[in-house]
Structure formats: C-alpha cells, structure tokens
Structure 1
Amino acid sequence: MNNTDKIYNLAVSGVQKLIPYTPGKPIEELERELGLSNIIKLASNENPLGPGKKALAAIQATLKDLALYPDGNGFNLKSALAEKYAVDMSQITLGNGSNEILELVARAFLTPGLEVVFSQHAFAVYPIVTQAVGATAVVAPALNYGHDLDAMLQRVTDKTRLVFIANPNNPTGTLLNHADLEAFIGALPDTCVCVLDEAYCEFVGGQSEDNSIAWLKKYPNLLITRTFSKAYGLAGLRIGYGLSSPQLADILNRVRQPFNNNMLALAAAEAALTDVEHLQNTITVNAQGMQFITEGFKNLGLGWIPSAGNFVLVDLKQPAMPTYEALLRKGVIVRPVGVYELPNHLRITIGTQAENQLFLQALTEVLGRIGSLPIATLPPSLAVAG
C-alpha cells in the first residue's frame, strides 16, 4: 500500500467497504460521451411534467431573498404539511429529499452490533445507510418481488432497531395491503422503529395516502417518509419530510443539520401542496403512460411487474445490460437494476406520451437487432409518427 492509500484505513469500518449509490445517468453525461442530442431520460422516476406553475411562481418570488439564510425550522412548509395531514408541527422533520430522513434515522438509532431488517429488492439506500454506521443488515427474501412481511417479522430480534419498508416499493413497484401492513407494524416491538418509505404514495390513489397517517396516533415507533421529488416534480430542489410521533421527530431534528433545506425548495414545496390541478395532471399522465407502455411490452412479448408507482420493471429474460447500452446509443436512458439482484430487468420511468412512444420504438429496434426475443409489430397506436 502506498502512502496515499493509507487514508482509507482511517475511515470507519463501515465506510471503508461502502459502495456509493449510483444515480441514473444524467442527460449531460450521455451527451458528452456519445455526442447525442434530443435525449430522453426515463431512469430516475422524475415527473415528466416538471414543477407546477404555482411552484415555479413561488421560486421566482423568492429569488430576491437569496442572500439570506432560509428558515432553519421551515415554519411555513411545516404549517402547510400539518394542515394537510392534520398532524402537529412537532411531528414533522424536513429533509434534503426524503433520502436524508433515511440517513438521519440511521444516524440517530444505529450503532455497530444493532440490526436493520429490510426486504430483498428494496431501495438501495437502506443497506447504504446501515453499513455507513456499522450496523448489520438483515435481508428478508422477497415474495413475488415485494415485501414478505411474515419473513421480515421472523427476522426481528432484540438487536433490531430499524425496519425499512417501501410502499410502493422501489424498484419493483409492488404495493402492500394496508391491513397486512398495519398488522405488521403493530406486531413490532417498541424497541424497533418502523420506517415506512412512501415516496410514491401519490400515485396509489384512493384513500391510501391518508391511511398510514392515521397510524401515527397508535404507533409512536412509526416514521413515514415522503418527498416532493416525484409527483410534485421538484427533484432538483431536494426536499422531503418525515411524519412521526413528536418524540421521534425531536430525535431526528437533533441530528438534522441546520439549513438543510434551501429557500427555493421550501417555497416551492409549500406552493406545490396547493397545486391540486398539477398533481392530478401528473397522476393522470402517469396512469395513461403506464397503460401505454405495458401494452407495448405485451406486443413485444415481454413480461413486467405490475407497478403502483411512476415506473415499471420489464423482464427481458436475459441479461439487461446489452439492451440498456443499446438504448443509450439511441438516446434513451433507462435504469438497469442488477444491483437489486434483478439482472434481467430494466426499470422504466413513465414519461410523456412522446417520450413513451420514442422509448417503445427504440426498444423494438434494439430487441429486433439483438434478435433473441420474439418481436411483434407495434400497432399504429404505439408507433412513432414520422
């Protein structure tokens, strides 16, 4: 080992072997690599409609104040969230995306020797925050690509401090029955915090968005995390939040960094909560796009995992990386999910109608060139005009 490598030995043990999270390839990176233009990105579950008009107006109105620090307590956004969900402001923790809330709960509750339970095929950040603090990950096998709650509960011991559940799950899109999920939370010991990651809850529809909020009154060890990055179209501003008991929120806010939310994010998120029309348009476009893309998969002879989110996993029945790379060369960015132990799948974010058409056309051409799958001709309704 040379002298420059010795620095790695100084890092804490969990960090030394940590593999950082790899985000979806940025459009600019593909432009640099291949010199392409008119690239479409369907890799990171972003909102294809972007931010709503109210959020954009709030950002514009806030620009004049950028020389000032933001409100470190996020009073206005907390007030809006408290009103929306009928909770007290003391139950809210604001994060730099809901991703930061996941990190905060790990920092606050985990040490080496303690354990975290989560499912196979669950969000990649769960093992990352676990390893970073030196705790032990206990992975329960998936059931039909989703959470096996019985298997997870069997793995909870007196060493378990956190349980992570994503509902809908990323990257598979599976959705748990609410009665089963509440029974699971109720069966957990009070020495274990249940983190219910609901980053995609707005796409589920019905009363599902409100059901879990009611559980906060019964389960003081429950933490619900949500984000403005997906349905609200504010991924670039990085803002999310946690809902919990006041006591749990107090612990998280003790380790939360001051000014972790910038001024533009706070203003945009507050405005976005009132933009019902934009949210409904987003949900409608997603539902239509999901039907459109899965119909395309059917015509291509491909299987997929039914999804409750704004993305869908397609099963290529062969290693997915060659198809992923071929799509890149056509200017279409999707997401390989080999890191989730799903090497034959690609995750596709639902885009606009035009983006969905371009993706299906590119996929048809790529699979036809590879020649290893039965290729059906897309019907006129799925073809790209011109």
Structure 2
Amino acid sequence: MLAKPGIQTISAYQGGRPVEEVQRELGLSDVIKLASNENPLGPSKRALDAMAEAVASVHHYPDGNAFYLKNAVAAFHGVGPEQLLFGNGSSEVLQILGETYIAPGDHIVYPQQSFVVYPLMAAIFDARTSTPPMRADTYDLGAIATAVTDETKLVLIANPNNPTGTYVTKTQLDAFFDAIPSSPLVVLDEAYFEYVDRDDYPDGLDYLRAGRNVIVTRTFSKAYGLAGLRVGYGIASPEVVEMMNRARPPFNVNSLAQVAALAALEDVEHVTRSREVNAAGMTYLTAALARLGVAYVPSVANFLLVHLRRDGRSVTDALTRRGVIVRPMHAYAYPQSVRVTVGTEAQNQRFIAALAEVLGEIPEAS
C-alpha cells in the first residue's frame, strides 16, 4: 500500500540524541545534552511536587478540556479561555491546525531554514509551498509578503527563529501585516518567547488583540523545563479554536503534564532564574567562540547556530565521543554548522573545551 504522495517525499523527524542512547552505544557514563534547547535547570520544584501529588490518579483519564490549566493560562495572558487550545507540545498544535485547515493543494508560505516541522507539515497535508530564502540568517519579511497571495491559506513565522535564534522586530512585523491580504492565517510560533530581552521584539498576542488573523503558539518545553511532558498551546480567535477543537485528539494532554504546567506557570522565580542562567551562558559562549575564531549567529533565544567551516556531522560525532551532544544542521541546510543549547556554566565550559579539541582534530573544508 502506497502512502500519500507527500509522505513519500520526507524522512521522519529526527530530534537530538537522548543521553541514554549515547551512554548505551558509546559506553560513556558522563554525557551532557546541548542539542534540543532544553532548560538546563530542569523543571520547577513546584512542578515536580504537583506531579508527585497527582501520580496516584493516573488510572483516570485526564481532563480533555484542561480546565484548570486553560483558565490559568488565559488569565496569565489576558485572553479568554475560549481562545486557547492545548496540545502534546506546540508541534501538535501545528498538526491540529493542519488537520483543521489545510486541504491537498492549499498554499502555505514559510521561510527557508526555519523550523524543520514546517516542511514536514506541508508534505503531510500535500500542500503547495512557497519558501522565500533567508537574508543574513534572518527572515526577509518583504520576500515572504511577496509570496503571500489571496490564495494563501497559512503563513508560518517562528519568532525567534529556530535554528538561527534571530528575530523580526515589531516595526518589521507591522509592515508585513500591512502588506499581506487579511485572509491567510498567520502562525506566530513563539516557542522561545520567554528568553527574548529586546525592546523591539513584538508580542504576537498584540496582533491577535488588534484583530489580525493570527494564531500564537507557545510551549512549556523550553523556559518552563517540561520538554519531556509535552505541553504546548495556541491562542487564536474563538472561531479558529472552536474549529481546531473538532480535530484535536481526545485526552491529548496527559494529567501529569497538566498539573506540572499549571505549577510551572505559577513559579515565576524559576523562569526568572532560567532567563538569568541563559543570559550568563550566552555571554560566556559568544566570548569563548570568538576567542576560538569560530563564527556564530547572534541569538536572542537559548541556543546558538555555530558556523564551523567543517562538516557539521563530523564535528557532532567527534563531540559526542567526548560526551557532548549537539545538533548537526544538515536538515536546516547548514551543512557546516551545529546548533548548541546554552547550558549551565559547567556544561558550557565543557562544550568549549571539547570543541577546541575537535577543531584541532578536524581540518577546515576545502
């Protein structure tokens, strides 16, 4: 039996290698993972305590409507609970969005070298795509706007972008919305929102409040440290959310994830500390890379795209043998680059020391 045409053209998504896999395959005991943009501080203690208290009830199905979490997040953002849809990570929110709105042949626009799930999503739903190129590792919103037509169904913009860590400003995004038709639904993917500390960075919710046709996606996987539980959400108009709920799988966010996310949301101190550790780590890493003569893309997120002038897979393999897991960027059309997550002080120092060894071991590409 043949799969759908789009499915036949893609490969399965490959995430960062798990620590346990590297330990098992290489016989290493001391391994650090800086590949998947996870919070190096881990989850909030409040989240752990909430799960411990709730674990005895896992024989019950979770609240399919995520009532308490939904109302807390709605209050946190100043929106109505009818504007929220939760998913098994924000990637599932995108999947539900596609199930709801994308028919074969529909037109989707997203930039090249953006979140790798976007082309997978387009292929799964057999959509037509326009993928304007990046300019200096940053979105060219003018080119993206030009690609949008009255027939465009969906536009996907990650801000900040993964894997570059760059962002578009409020002025740029304002001009973009003014330049495109009102009919396409624009996804503002803000997975790294909590890490950004720039005065000109736009809050996607402002566009929703202004009546723009947008859905803003956020996640508990990054700054909140709950990547293993998979909790993300979308915020849109009640009409969009109501339609998406028809396509949402039942009980898609498990009960432990719901109570942990609720507790994490309330632990402002943990998020603040996570931001501080990230800022200090970013300062250290950028200075250390500069001393090594290694180019990188300045980032407002919790990771760096590092340009090595060497095969990224070879560098990744060499670092992995030293117990440091990073992410090669071939899938993002950066074959001579890796992406490294900002870790703890000790993890960052270990990465730099290992990278210095690897750079001396692997010659630059000719």
C-alpha distance in structure 2 between counterparts of 1:269 and 1:209, whole Å: 25
* Cα deviation digits, residues 311-342 of structure 1 (max 9, x gap): 00111123222111111111110000111111
Question: Per-residue deviation at 1:219?
Answer: 3.0
Structure 1 segment 86-165 matched on structure 2, within 5 A: 86-165=78-157
2:24 match? 32
Question: Per-residue deviation at 1:369?
Answer: 2.1
Letter in structure 2 aligned against 1:301: G
1:83 match? 75
C-alpha distance in structure 2 between counterparts of 1:210 and 1:360, whole Å: 33
Question: Per-residue deviation at 1:185?
Answer: 2.6
1:363 match? 355
Decide whether the 8 Å contact of 1:220 with 1:248 is kept in 2: no
C-alpha distance in structure 2 between counterparts of 1:278 and 1:206, whole Å: 20
From 315, 324, 344, give the equivalent of 2:316: 324
Q: Does 1:261 align with 2:253?
A: yes
* Cα deviation digits, residues 68-112 of structure 1 (max 9, x gap): 111100010111111111100010010110000111111111112
Extract unaligned runs of 5+ from structure 2. Answer: none
Provide TM-score, normalisation by structure 2.
0.97
Q: Does 1:48 align with 2:40?
A: yes
For the aligned residues, what is the CA RMSD? 1.5
Q: Percent sequence identity over matched residues? A: 47
Decide whether the 8 Å contact of 1:85 with 1:210 is kept in 2: no
Q: Does 1:60 align with 2:52?
A: yes
C-alpha distance in structure 1 between counterparts of 2:275 and 2:72, whole Å: 21
Decide whether the 8 Å contact of 1:72 with 1:261 is kept in 2: yes
1:245 match? 237
1:315 match? 307
2:287 match? 295
From 15, 18, 21, give the equivalent of 2:10: 18
C-alpha distance in structure 2 between counterparts of 1:224 and 1:92, whole Å: 10
Distance 1:152 1:206, change over 3 A: closer
Q: Does 1:222 align with 2:214?
A: yes
Letter in structure 2 aligned against 1:173: G
C-alpha distance in structure 2 between counterparts of 1:274 and 1:168, whole Å: 24
Decide whether the 8 Å contact of 1:186 with 1:219 is kept in 2: no
Decide whether the 8 Å contact of 1:131 with 1:137 is kept in 2: no
* Cα deviation digits, residues 172-223 of structure 1 (max 9, x gap): 0001101211331343323210000000000003667883212212235200
Distance 1:210 1:316, change over 3 A: closer
C-alpha distance in structure 1 between counterparts of 2:43 and 2:164, whole Å: 25
Larger radius of gyration: 1
* Cα deviation digits, residues 238-296 of structure 1 (max 9, x gap): 00000111111111111001100000000011111110110001000000001111111
Distance 1:219 1:185, change over 3 A: farther
C-alpha distance in structure 1 between counterparts of 2:86 and 2:178, whole Å: 26
Question: Per-residue deviation at 1:371?
Answer: 4.8
Letter in structure 2 aligned against 1:25: R
1:205 match? 197
Decide whether the 8 Å contact of 1:202 with 1:209 is kept in 2: no
C-alpha distance in structure 2 between counterparts of 1:243 and 1:117, whole Å: 20
C-alpha distance in structure 2 between counterparts of 1:369 and 1:14, whole Å: 40
1:334 match? 326
C-alpha distance in structure 1 between counterparts of 2:209 and 2:180, whole Å: 16
Distance 1:372 1:211, change over 3 A: closer
The number of residues matched between the two structures is 365
Decide whether the 8 Å contact of 1:172 with 1:307 is kept in 2: yes
From 271, 275, 278, give the equivalent of 2:267: 275
Decide whether the 8 Å contact of 2:313 with 2:328 is kept in 1: yes
1:188 match? 180
Letter in structure 1 aligned against 2:10: L
Decide whether the 8 Å contact of 1:101 with 1:242 is kept in 2: yes
Distance 1:123 1:306, change over 3 A: same
Distance 1:103 1:200, change over 3 A: same
